[in-house]
Amino acid sequence: MATGTRYAGKVVIVTGGGRGIGAGIVRAFVESGAQVVICDKDESTGRTLEQELPGSVFVLCDVTQEDDVKTAFSSDPLSETIRRFGRLDCVVNNAGSHPPLQWPEETSIQGFRQLLELNLLGMYTLTKLALPHLRKSRGNVINISSLVGAIGQSQAVPYVATKGAVTAMTKALALDESQYGVRVNCISPGNIWTPLWEELAASTPDPKAKIREGTLAQPLGRMGQPAEVGAAAVFLASEASFCTGIELLVTGGAELGFGCKAAQCSVPAGASVIP
């Protein structure tokens, strides 16, 4: 695999980096010349990617467990990031989940709370602990949000709420950290073909129909690929030096134009937009 120089000499942490969008981001940064720490609670996928990609290091980490996150940044010998590389330039907060589609009355408060812990509070915890290192390097944070945080999605109130909060948090943090030269941006994907998308489609009565629905939601006529989100992340980290607080849509145009959104439509509006 050829290694580029767009982010050579830099150190990046990617949460949820073992598969899907996270793995696409890890690959893109490794190909740009960066050293990448893969944080994931799934050791098998993380170790497999580590072996595949020279320049990457796997750290077992569940972002909802503060002690796990602290391990990645403490100055003791267990630290895989600072101990190995001595610096940190970019944090990509990608770890998250999209529960199966549910009407509001089918959701639980406990489920909502757990989703908040993963999709929002986990991002905040990691970012807060990383900031002292990012300030030293004048680095940057990239949060992975979702298109539906801006446009909504049927049968996904908790998920949409967490992703809308991620985008809002990005803007607020960008203001606070600008005095230190730390940029904070987010990427909002639309339909990206990942194992999660495939699993969610498989849980529906007609998976093929669900995949076709997701494919046709974009004017470009296809779903995106994890590598395309990875390319966007490398751009924000390496070249978008005058961008902070922005939401970069990687959606194939799914948000464009009018559509049938009334209750009489056979398909709930936005039901297919599942990054």
Domain of residue 187, CATH code: 3.40.50.720
Number of domains present in the structure of the chain: 1
Residue 36 lies in a domain: yes
What sign does the dihedral 37-38-40-46 (CA atoms) show?
A: negative
In this prediction, residue 266 carries a pLDDT of 59
Residue 255 lies in a domain: no
Report the alpha-carbon distance of residue 254 to residue 223 in Å, rounded.
10
In this prediction, residue 107 carries a pLDDT of 96
CB 200 within 8 A of CB 274: yes
Tokens of 242: 């005058």
CB 147 within 8 A of CB 104: no
Q: Which residue has the tokens 């905040």?
A: 124
In this prediction, residue 259 carries a pLDDT of 81
In this prediction, residue 2 carries a pLDDT of 54
Residue 180 lies in a domain: yes
Mean pLDDT confidence for 179-197: 96
What sign does the dihedral 193-198-203-209 (CA atoms) show?
A: positive
What is the percent of the chain with per-residue pLDDT over 70, rounded to a whole number?
Answer: 93
Residue 267 lies in a domain: no
Report the alpha-carbon distance of residue 49 to residue 136 in Å, rounded.
29
The helix (H) or strand (E) run that includes residue 93 is: strand 90-93
Interval 99-141: pLDDT, tens:
988 999 999 999 999 999 999 999 999 999 999 999 999 999 9
In this prediction, residue 79 carries a pLDDT of 62
Interval 145-174: pLDDT, tens:
999 999 999 999 999 999 999 999 999 999
Tokens of 5: 């120089």
Mean pLDDT confidence for 87-92: 96
Beta pairing partners, 22: none
What residues contact residue 103 under an 8 Å CB cut-off, 6+ apart? Answer: 155
What residues contact residue 172 under an 8 Å CB cut-off, 6+ apart? Answer: none
Report the alpha-carbon distance of residue 117 to residue 162 in Å, rounded.
9
Report the alpha-carbon distance of residue 136 to residue 129 in Å, rounded.
13
In this prediction, residue 20 carries a pLDDT of 96
Interval 245-274: pLDDT, tens:
999 999 999 999 988 888 777 554 445 444
Question: pLDDT band for position 84 (50/70/90)?
Answer: confident
Shortest CA distance to 15 belongs to which of 121, 70, 93, 90? Answer: 93
Question: pLDDT band for position 74 (50/70/90)?
Answer: low
Tokens of 15: 């949460």
In this prediction, residue 275 carries a pLDDT of 54
Beta pairing partners, 37: 13, 57
pLDDT at 13 over 70: yes
Please give the residue range of the domain that contains residue 152: 11-250
In this prediction, residue 260 carries a pLDDT of 81
Residue 142 lies in a domain: yes
pLDDT at 77 over 70: no
User: Over the Cα atoms of the chain, what is R_g?
Assistant: 18
Instruction: Flag the least confident range among 20-34, 72-86, 208-222.
Output: 72-86
Q: Please identify every residue annotated as catalytic.
A: 159
CB 73 within 8 A of CB 51: no
Average pLDDT for the chain: 91
